Chain A
Amino acid sequence: MRAFNAELSKLFSLPGIWLAFLIGAFAPAVIAALDSMAQKEEIIAGVSTRLSEVGYIGLALGVQGVIILGVLAVSSEYLTESSESGGGQQITTSLTVVSSRLHFLLAKAGAVTVISILLSVVAIMTTVSATHLVLGEYTPAFEWPKLLGAVCFWAFTALLAFGITVLTKHGMIPLAVLIINTSFVSFSFLLSKVTKLALYLPDRAGFEMFMFLSNRFLTPFTGGLVMFAWVVVLFIAAAIVFHRRDVAS
């Protein structure tokens, strides 16, 4: 528990984390608002084919905030980009404070999960209000199970970002890959055209939890389960690598 508190305070003292909060809280709302504006006429006319996605699209594409959170939580331990310190690595300090590496990793993952759940709740509130603001009475109802799915999606995404960064130690690659993958030109979407197996990729499977995809493939529950399995596998891999690796290398 003490390690968990320490990880929370470490996260909150990172300057980059405020960027994550800002993006996490408002990006989904902005995306949802833009999408609703674009579709407003169709929705009012009652011909929209994507009615069930309204608002949720913001929550699906606006996960950059928690991606940054998950990546920064790890990469900040390794890299200091300051003109003053000659490359001090916080990880050495961290591991002398919490000696068990597994505890350290668990505490950090716990802190990331808690913050991303809170962030997703904030994001849901801003997104729902933004959608209401744009669509007014035409806003489709938001259902609890789907919102819960969105919260899970956010937390899992943050943990995926976390796990990948533990493996790479450097924040740039996971950040780039994951942000691109949340966009309209996602790798998973492209791959899903090549092979059906790509539908089991974590983000595609995760979408099933709350996005009503026209070509539904998994039930929301199995979708969540598939994504969770990815998180677990990645976390185990990260834990093994992290346990074996010399800190300095």
Chain B
Amino acid sequence: MLTFNNLVKHRGTQEILSGISFKARPGRVTGFLGPNGAGKSSTLRILLGLDRATSGNALIDGKPFAELHNPLTTVGAALDGSGAHRMRTGRAHLLWMAHAAGLSRSRVEEVLDIVGLTNAAGKRVGKYSLGMGRRLGMAAALLGDPKILVLDEPVNGLDPEGIRWIRTFLRERAASGNTVLLSSHLMGELAETVDDVVIIHHGKIVADGTLEEVIGNHSTLEEAFFALTSGLAGDVV
């Protein structure tokens, strides 16, 4: 269970987040939706303890990220890019992470196999394509076999096969009782994957509910999204 309580974030004089509150529940895939620069990544970065909230908090099973006993086996996170140094090999990147969390070497080979990077594991990350970098990011997120997955734009840069793989994979994770939170701006893709939808716009939550609730009277999620974010209105929720 992920809980966001009234998150506010200022950067300089700008208010990036103004009171973000929502939950991502176990057994469900929650889609976090919003245009570019709406505050999706900032929210996720605060959840993962990378950025500090000006006020409010984000909790993982009731605890802030830094108080987790073993973060890697509790929350798996894949943010933008690979999150690896360009000059390191993909395998070396996963190995140091595994080492830090007390996981075995064989687990590294397992996740490399899951994301289909076994053949490229000995190459420098700098030589990876965009999609391969994303796969490495996914491998890092899955390394600790965590109950909670937090993914920022997971399908960005993936080929059609990869997108389909992500979709079925996330559905399976949720079906076995795990929590999945993913951000995206690709409506069509999201509509086929998620159970719950949270829409953020200019640092504020404009819709929060199940997929059906958020779509409401609109024909598609995309229609609902534009109706909500263009300011023309709609009291969904």
Interface residues of A (CB under 8 A from B): 84-87
Contact = CB atoms under 8 A, between A and B. Distances in A.
A86 B82 CA distance: 7
Nearest to A248: B127
Contacts of A86: 80-82, 130, 133
6 smallest beta-carbon distances between A and B, as pairs: A86-B81, A87-B86, A86-B133, A86-B82, A87-B126, A84-B80
Contacts, number: 11
Interface SS of chain A: loop
A153 B126 CA distance: 38
Contacts of B82: 86
B27 to A, nearest CB: 32
B44 to A, nearest CB: 13
6 contacts: A84-B80, A86-B80, A86-B81, A86-B133, A87-B86, A87-B126
A186 B125 CA distance: 37
A86 B130 CA distance: 9
A84 B83 CA distance: 9
B36 to A, nearest CB: 13
Interface residues of B, number: 7
A79 to B, nearest CB: 9
A151 B72 CA distance: 57
B124 to A, nearest CB: 11
A35 to B, nearest CB: 41
Given A84-B81, A86-B80, A86-B130, 8 more contacts: A84-B80, A85-B81, A86-B81, A86-B82, A86-B133, A87-B81, A87-B86, A87-B126
B230 to A, nearest CB: 27
Nearest to A89: B126
B132 to A, nearest CB: 11
Interface string B109-126: 000000000000000001
Interface in B40-92: 80-82, 86
B117 to A, nearest CB: 16
B87 to A, nearest CB: 10
Contacts of B81: 84-87
A87 B126 CA distance: 8
Nearest to A79: B86
B90 to A, nearest CB: 13
Nearest to A80: B86
Nearest to B45: A83
Contacts of B86: 87
B1 to A, nearest CB: 28
A155 B8 CA distance: 50
Interface in B106-160: 126, 130, 133
Contacts of A84: 80-81
A18 B155 CA distance: 39
A86 B125 CA distance: 10
Nearest to B137: A86
Contacts of B80: 84, 86
A155 B130 CA distance: 40
A84 B82 CA distance: 10
B137 to A, nearest CB: 9
A246 to B, nearest CB: 12
Contacts of B130: 86
A183 B130 CA distance: 43
Contacts of A87: 81, 86, 126
Q: Give the residue among B80, B81, B82, B126 with the most A Cβ atoms within 10 A.
A: B81
